[in-house]
Structures are given as structure tokens and as C-alpha cells.
Structure 1
Amino acid sequence: MNEPKQELIRYPASRLLDVAKALSSDIRLRILEALGERPMSVSQLAEALGAAQPTISINVQALEQAELVSCRQGSGREKICTASCRSVLLELPLRSGDALRRVEEIRMPIGLYSRCDIQAPCGMASREGVGIGSPDDPRVFYMPERTEAAVLWFSGCGSLEYEFANPMPPGAELDELALTAELCSEAPGFRDDWPSDITLSIGGRTVGTWTSPGDFGDRKGRFTPERWRGNTEYGRLTEWKVTRDGSFLNGERCSELSLGDLPLAFNEPVRIQLAVAAGATNARGLNLFGAGFGDYAQDLVLSFARRTRPDEG
């Protein structure tokens, strides 16, 4: 039997939700059981647990984020997983703010937009690679089945708007607000040289525009289902971040818009819009990827980094 690296991991009150969420799934507990015997690759875990490999990858990632599992690259670039400890110690919150994490994340399935402006060609597919509704029919974007979308796309100009809850309690101050999404342009089939200008707005204020270099289908996406062939396969993980000092796109300053310019309130949704504007230099649509499609096992992620108290260090 392979011994875990640590006997005990101690989690402060601010990590309670991370650990609770990671342990609140039967398959994640089964993954920990399997790793209690020895390190295993993702494919070995999939075989041992009788689950699809993308499902194992997504749940291993959740355990990694909670630091219950550590991973390394094995031969053939396959991920090798190891249980991090034998026991955990959870500290309970004792005063106001103790249970707040430094960063709160909300993960939004890509089909749960609140508004859209879509024209054909367009469409969406499930994580099994099955098309939802009829292709190139904008009415699909208003069907209830849209909530099952793992990839969606539109050509030319258009927009998608999402409403995120603000997890910060009254009085909590933010240092950063960041949106992460896997995106690319939309061409017939796919085309690596196909730039498209994709703009993020928060509360109606423009944060910045990322020019996707193309629509990528030259290889299989890491999580894209096998039955999905001859089309867009993956995107680029793109991050827009708004701070107290300005806005940044993939680490580079993109505008002077700061947190103070955003209409944020604890009891109001945070409105996020991804758009290809009609007047864009490169109005060549977008593909938006969710968990189970593309190269990254994630949906849209909106992160709230709160300002720490002086005694938190």
C-alpha cells in the first residue's frame, strides 16, 4: 500500500466550503477509496470505478482544488493521482468573516444565460456530442434543453448575457473580480486563421476585447467526446480581471475600468455579457465551451477576491 504524503491536513474555517463540496459527491469518495491503496492514473480510475474518463477528470480536479488529491504527469502525459493525506481537521468559524474564503468562485453552466442575441448559423451540443435542437435555428437558444449545452456557437455578431449571484455579504470589499472562459472564433467546420473580437462587459461597462486567433479543430479537445468530429474541438482559456487599479486581459492591462466603476451590490446580480459587436473589426462569432468539452473541465467561472483584514496577513 502506498502511504499518503501527510497524516493530517488542517483546514481553516475559510476552507470549509471547499472541503465540504469536494466530499459531497459519491464518486469523489470512491476516488479517494481507490487512491487509498495506491496512486492511479485517470484512465485506471475510470476503469476501476466504471465511469467515463472525462467524468473522472472533472471530479479529480475538484479534489485537487481542495488539496485532497495531488497529481503529476506520468509517462505518455497521463495524469497520475495520489491521495494527499489520511485525515483532515476542520476548524469551525468563531467570529464574523471567519468562514469567508479569500476567493469565492461561482461556476455557471454555459447554457444558463439570461438573455441572448443570436442569428444563424448557430447551434449547441451536449457533452455526449449530440446536437441540441435543429442546427442553425436561433430558436434553439430559447429551448429548455439549452441548459444541457456543453458547447455553443454563433457566427458573425451576437451576444450572451449571464446573471451571477454576488456571494459577498454586505460590507465585504473586493480586490478583484475575474471571469474565466474557454473560447474561440466560429468558422464553417474549423479554421485556425479566423480572428474574432470577443468583448466582455460587466453591468453594461466594457472590460476589454480579446481577439481570438481562430476556430480550433486541428486536434481532439482533451474533453471533447469522440463522436464529435470535423468541427471545433477546443478553445483558449481566457481571463478578464477587474481590480481597484484597472482591468486586465490574460495578465495585460486592457482598460482603465476599475472595481469602483462597476455597479456591484450584494443583493443584485452581477451581469456578465460576452459579445461580438456588430461594429467589430473581426466579427466572426464565437464558440463557448463548458465542462465536458474542449481542453478545460470548467464552465464559466466568476471569481470574487475579497479584501483581507489586516490581521489575516
Structure 2
Amino acid sequence: MRQGEAQPAGKGPLIYRQSVWTRVTHWTWAVCLFFLLLTGLQIFNAHPALYVGQQSGFEFDNSILKIGAVNTEAGPRGRTTVLGQTFDTTALGLGMSGNAERPTFTAFPGAVTIPSYRDLGTGRVVHFFFGWVFVATMLVWFVASFVNGHIRRDIVPRGSDIRGLPGDIAGHARFRFQHERSYGPLQKLTYFTVFFILFPLIVASGLTMSPGINAAAPWMLDLFGGRQTARTIHFLVMLALVAFFIVHVVMVVAAGPINQMRSMITGWYRTSAITPTIPKDQP
């Protein structure tokens, strides 16, 4: 069924909502972020601590996050320290995983790293490969979305979107969704944040950790306040993207997974039915 044809009762027409460029880059990003996350955790395991500033501490401790294991009277336990506050994270698999007979002492367990065993070299190679695929996909999306008007129409919030944001947030909180041609205020603000802030920030902070980039563009170290700060920002943006992914999946399921998935696979999207209004001069 296509736009203009008769539609089922209670449902709006099908519209062509997502271009092929949006769909291809969307799924390419999904694959890239999966491998980047799991290889990034493998790389983090090589030195499971984060700092702010130009250097990490050896004779002094200036970490803001540290994940490891300690010996206790009850045996080894996973321990995570955040801003000086220490937590037992054995149950989460942070710092220590596996069973008591064969424990594994890594910040993140092998179940969420690529490779699943300690292999920093392979993790870095796979991470850099998908990192450059991610960057290339981002450039393709920006050019295509600028040309076809996707950025102007669906991503950049307007004044009316800002004014309608509180009501849209309330609607999402009650799981009441409007299926329309354009994105709602909350969608626009979220996607704008992801595409124009989080994506560029995670790429730039990742490049700042590269010695080759440091030699070619030393100003990036000053921009981020040092390689250790860039590493911390990189990690925090990763957490923000993971949170976005979880909320994104929840919203897709709540708003109708079949309709949402069809939109991102075929481009066609079922809109909400238009409710007829009665003129005020009629009973």
C-alpha cells in the first residue's frame, strides 16, 4: 500500500519517511558502534583507570575512576572507585568475574569484550578499523542529509520545537506517541545532540589519544586539556551513547516495533490516523 491508497480503519497512510542514505548509514553505525564498544572495553582493560589532566599518576593517585580487584577476608572482590567513593562491584562483573574456582581479574568481563580474552593488539586493530568506517559513514550522512534536506527538516530544532518540548517529553513519559511525517521536538533535540555533539566529540577525543595525530595537530591536546582528559571524555561519551541506544530501543518497542523497523528497512512509515474535527458552528 502506498500514499494515497485506502488505508486500514484507524490507521493513517503509509509515507516514505527515511531515505536510502539514512537507512544505510543507520545500520552501518549500529554495526560500527557494536564493535567499537566491545573493542573499546578490551582496550580499557589494559589500564582500567581514568584521569583528568596531562598525566596519570604513578607515585600519586589522581584517578577519577578505577576498576580492579582487592583481597578481603572473604576472598578476592571486584572494586570500583568513582571520585573517591569505593563500591563492591563483584556482582556486576566489574574488576572480577567468573567463578570462585577460576576468577578473572579484568575491569570488564570477557563476555563484553572483543576478543573475549586479553588481547590488546587485536582489540586496537579492530577498534581502529571500525573507527574509520564510522567516520566515513558520518561524512556520507552529513553530505547526503544536507543535500536532501534531512538535517534542516528533521534534525535541527526550531523555535516551535523548543516550545513544544515539555509537552512532547510528557507524552513520551506516558508512552503516547504521534506517528507523523516529521520528527517530534524530543526526537529532534536528541538526534541533534547525538549527530552534532556526541559523534564529533567521540571522534575528536579518540584522535587526540593518537600519537600520530598529536604530532600533526598538537593543538588538539590543548583543546582537550591533555591526552588523559581526552581519554576520560571518550569514555564518558561512550557511556552516553550506550544510554541513548538503550532508550532508543525502548522507544522503538513502545512506539510500535513493526512500523519503526519497516521505516528503517524499506523507508515506508505508517502515520497516525487524522482525527476529523467538527466546526464550532455545528452541533
Query: Given the two structures, how large is their TM-score scaled by the length of structure 1?
Result: 0.24
Q: Report the structure, 1 or 2, having the larger strand content.
A: 1
Pick the structure with greater CA Rg.
Answer: 2
Query: Given the two structures, how large is their TM-score scaled by the length of structure 2?
Result: 0.26
Q: Report the structure, 1 or 2, having the larger helix content.
A: 2
Which of structures 1 and 2 has the larger relative contact order (alpha carbons within 8 angstroms, sep 6+)? 2
